[in-house]
Structure 1
Amino acid sequence: MSKKTFFLAGLLLLFACNRYPHSSSNATYGAVTDDSIYTAVQRTTFNYFWEGAEPNSGLARERFHVDGVYPQQDKHIVTTGGGGFGIMAILAGVERNFITRSQAFERMQRIVAFLKRADRFHGAWPHWLDGETGKVKPFSKKDNGGDLVESSFLLEGLLCARQYFKNGNAAEKQLAASIDTLWREVDFNWYRNGKNVLYWHWSPEYQWEMNFPVTGYNECLIMYILAAASPTYDVPAAVYHEGWARNGKIKDTTTKYGHTLTLSHNGAKEYGGPLFWSHYSYLGLDPHGLKDQYADYWENAKNHTLINHDWCVENPKKYKGYGADSWGLTASYSVKGYSGHAPGMQHDLGVISPTAALSSMPYTATYSMQAMKHWYTTMKDKIYGPYGFYDAFSETDNWYPRRYLAIDQGPAVVMMENYRSGLLWKLFMSCDEIQQGLKKLGFQSPYLK
């Protein structure tokens, strides 16, 4: 399951504490209300990546269905993108004292050793891997090679881990060096296919037949920043501006409920799309003060979230259960398969995905807490299980599947931690290469020296 399936197919923010100063000596973060619920949810969701990980590789399983309704062989299929989110979740687990630093180090050793021997294609991993053998598991017939988007999500996590362990003891420094080697081996230039744009896939059997040049705006900003930042296979700034930004056409204003967006998805007039667009790249990339010629990324992500919230409160399609206590539309399991839920009469199917609100904690802390408390205190028996809130539910359809997806559990743990401590933001933004890549592309950020 993947967010790529989606492609292929006037309220005020009440917590001013969502913003924080970037000085390491005096940084303060939003005080968390109802801390016991917050910690319980974060810890239980973290366990998807700790107790629920695929045992041989140590990486996140693609999915886990508590109801048992899924093929037996899926138990050993790991997802590279969700694996990257899981790495960040493990670091958050140390910060919260869910596990010890030594436990995290041992798990990271296993993960890195697996990734070193696993199938790679010009340095990039495939979307799915067999956790027992390290061999590619085709996501679809022609999607049996490198997946640069999923690899970028994995690298986002790996670079956070590198920064976390690089100044530790000798063994930790060696782990950091091994991660650095994996990062340096990803050939971003290859995935240009000779053009000023990055392609999602390449297969040794089907070459470029998937034919998916990645243009914005969506969840893939992180891929272009990594490509510009690569110390070995960096791409020129023109790849970002001509490919991702579509020669400036990415900039397109839409206003809903008094909240203005300045970026569009390939010219489509939407209300920001599913919320994962404002999560995946920003698990490590701190949007506070992040700006370029196209957008203020904090403002765009915050307004994207507020539109999503306000749509559910207005509830124009009159779905049961929607409101200030239950909101959040993103790509997830749906009543009929899998769907990219989003504001709009066509994309809103009456399905709430808890990860949407939880992963938006940095943007809308009050509204996210309101939903989390409601779900935890009044709906827990229906929508909460061994690894936190289940992936999605619909009160309208009386649909409460007991199923999880790594790519939805991970952002919840990580963004809840970023709201609390900024941990993953600090780690990722401390990378010298990332800072240089951002400068190269014309970004401003408080982290840039």
Structure 2
Amino acid sequence: MKHTSIYLFPLLLLLFCSDVSFAQIAGNSISIKKGFTDNQLLNLVEKQTFQYFWDGAEPNSGLARERYHVDGDYLLNDKNVVATGATGFGVMAIIAGIDRHYITRKQGFERLQKGVNFLEKADRFHGAWPHWMYGETGKVKPFGNNDDGGDLVETAYLAQGLICVRQYFANGNKAERKLAAQIDRLYKGIEWDWYRNGGKNVLYWHWSPNVGWKMNFPLEGYNECLITYIMAAASPTHGIPAAVYHEGWARSGGINTNANIYGFPIKLKHNGTQNGVGGLFWSQYSYLGLSPKGLTDRYANYWNEVRNHALINHAYCIDNPKHYKGYGDNCWGLTASYSVDGYSGHSPSNDLGVISPTAALASYPYTPKESMKMIRHLYEDLGDKVWGKYGFYDAFSETANWYPKRYLGIDQGPIVVMIENGRSGLLWKLFMSSPEVKAGLKKLDFKSPYLK
């Protein structure tokens, strides 16, 4: 699946609020102060990670960089590359930053307006943005030989974030309402129905004006792509019928399983595993805006699924069957991230001894106690080995003594958004307040407290 393999191939080819302002940054030197309350520590982590999307943004567009390497080793020489999915997460992080008073509402609005103006002029392919864009021009940067057009999944992540921004400013001043209307036009311009590849009852990930449907990647569950079907069903202009979800994504019921791992049941079959579970980003990317609380359909109770997925990951790291150094109750989290040799989709079935902080931290709404232990251990015990100017670095391995000072936008975003959702539910409330989202969920026969 894409967020393991599609990041892997290009990389391998090229091989605060005042009460938490104690972390002083001087160049790359970070001082660690212990003794924070849980709330202070959460705020410190949320605020510092937010800076990836604020101070660390690509300067021309104001949007999220694909990556940032503090150690200066840019694998793809892509300091100017904007990542569409990370941008969706990043605009949500900016909304959280406004609400937490890390920045003013005016500052946040101006940055978001700049970003939306860029997106309006950037390359689109039947309404879908590409995976990567050049920050100076908005032109597509090919992700691979045949991946030089629209990326529907990354577009869905961006649309999820833009809907939150629209809802946040919908009842604001004149300029804010104008921005909300501009976002509305961008969302309505995404041709989700085109990505049915000639009317098939399934959505396809990619389309290119040069090679058409050659990537040939139908979106079938279960993985990180649920939000794509939600956004497509919700579209008032290019919507999909319910059959596309039930026959394509849910595979006419083939999505279901009856697994039990470490005592935690899983009802959704994770693609590519033998009754196992994938990386934790599967339970995060689609749920930054889509609230799994009380969310059900004929296939699953989604809160149970995402929470059990996180608890299985936690239990696996305590069990630590491969005896890696450092794994345990306070050091867990396997997901797609940088790895000792390039990039990998870490999971219990693909455990390479690499811990990715985003996995446990972005599980905070599901596993607050377990995630809080991880946050405190990372900050207080591992300190500047894993902590830098934009929060915790992407990944590390105590077994390999590997502590790269590198960030990936698509991993930093869920940390900010899901910590905020765990604290206030802000992004969940915004996204679920959208009338289109409500209509789309009803069309697909979902039930949710937000639909009452």
Q: Do the structures match in fold with TM over 0.5?
A: yes
Matched, 1:95 2:114: no
Is the 1:328–1:353 contact (alpha carbons within 8 Å) kept by the matching residues of 2?
yes
CA distance in structure 2 between the partners assigned to 1:151 and 1:432 by the alignment: 20
Q: What is the CA-CA distance between 1:37 and the residue it aligns to?
A: 1.3
SS in 2 for 1:48: helix
SS in 2 for 1:268: coil
Question: Matched residues in 1 for 2:348 and 2:50: separation?
Answer: 28
Per-residue CA deviations over 1:394-415 (Å, capped at 9, x if unaligned) read 0000000000000000000000
Deviation for aligned residue 1:311: 0.2
Please give the alpha-carbon distance, in whole angstroms, between the structure 2 residues aligned to 1:55 and 1:340. Answer: 30
1:329-408 → structure 2 map (5 Å cutoff): 329-344=334-349, 347-408=350-411
Partner of 1:68: 72
Contact persistence 2:8–2:343 (CA under 8 A): no
Alignment check: 8 A CA contact 1:216 1:265 kept: yes
C-alpha displacement at 1:420, in angstroms?
Answer: 0.4
Contact 1:6-1:331 at 8 Å conserved across structures:
no
Matches for 1:4-153 after TM superposition, within 5 Å: 4-5=4-5, 34-70=38-74, 73-153=77-157
Instruction: Tell whether 2:436 aligns with 1:446.
Output: no
When the two structures are aligned, how many residues end up with a matched partner? 425
1:257 CA displacement: 1.1
State whether structure 2 residue 264 is matched by structure 1 residue 259.
Answer: yes
In the alignment, is the contact (CA less than 8 A) between 2:7 and 2:343 conserved in 1?
A: no
Q: Residue in 2 aligned with 1:24?
A: none
- AA of the residue aligned to 1:424: L
RMSD: 1.5
How big is each residue's C-alpha offset from its partner over 1:381-428, in whole Å with a ceiling of 9 and x where there is no partner?
Answer: 211111000000000000000000000000000000000000000000
- Using the size of structure 1 for normalisation, the TM-score is 0.93
Residues 313-333 of structure 1 show CA distances to partners (whole Å, capped at 9, x for unaligned) of 010100000001100000000
* 2:232 is equivalent to residue 227 of structure 1: yes
Q: CA deviation at 1:46?
A: 0.3
1:424 to 424, 427, 430: 427
Contact 1:6 1:340 (8 Å CA) reproduced: no
Instruction: State the SS of the aligned residue for 2:52.
Output: coil
User: 1:3 corresponds to which residue?
Assistant: 3
Q: Deviations over 1:288-311 (max 9, x none)?
A: 000000000000000000000000
Which runs of 5 or more residues in structure 2 are unaligned?
10-35
Residues in 1 aligned to 2:433 and 2:205: alpha-carbon distance in whole angstroms: 27
1:271 is displaced (CA, Å) by 2.6
Return the offset for 1:38: 1.1
Contact 2:4 2:345 in 1 (8 A): no
Q: Which amino acid aligns with 2:107?
A: Q
Structure 2 residue aligned with 1:436 = 439
Partners of 1:290 and 1:33 in 2: CA distance: 32
Find the aligned partners of 2:139 and 2:216 in 1 and give their Cα distance.
Answer: 23
After TM superposition, what 4+ stretches of structure 1 lie above 3 angstroms from structure 2?
6-9
Q: Tell me which of 304, 312, 330 is aligned to 2:309.
A: 304
Q: Quick check: 1:164 aligned with 2:159? A: no
Amino acid at match of 1:215: E
Q: Distance in 2 between matches of 1:54 and 1:372?
A: 28
Residue 67 to residue 387, structure 1, CA distance change in 2 (3 Å): same
Matched with 1:14 is: none
1:336-369: CA deviations, max 9, x gaps? 110010013xx01100000001000000000000
User: How big is each residue's C-alpha offset from its partner over 1:13-47, in whole Å with a ceiling of 9 and x where there is no partner?
Assistant: xxxxxxxxxxxxxxxxxxx9522211111111000
Q: CA deviation at 1:266?
A: 3.7
Cα drift, residue 182 of structure 1: 0.1
Superposed CA offset, 1:219-276 (max 9, x none): 1000001111101000000000000001100011110111000001347324321000
**Counterpart-to-counterpart distance in 1, 2:95 and 2:274:** 38
Deviations 1:177-234 (A, max 9, x none): 0000000000001000020000000000000000000100001000001111101000
- How many angstroms apart in 2 are the aligned matches of 1:152 and 1:241? 18
Taking structure 2 as the reference length, the TM-score comes to: 0.92
Contact 1:254 1:269 in 2 (8 A): no
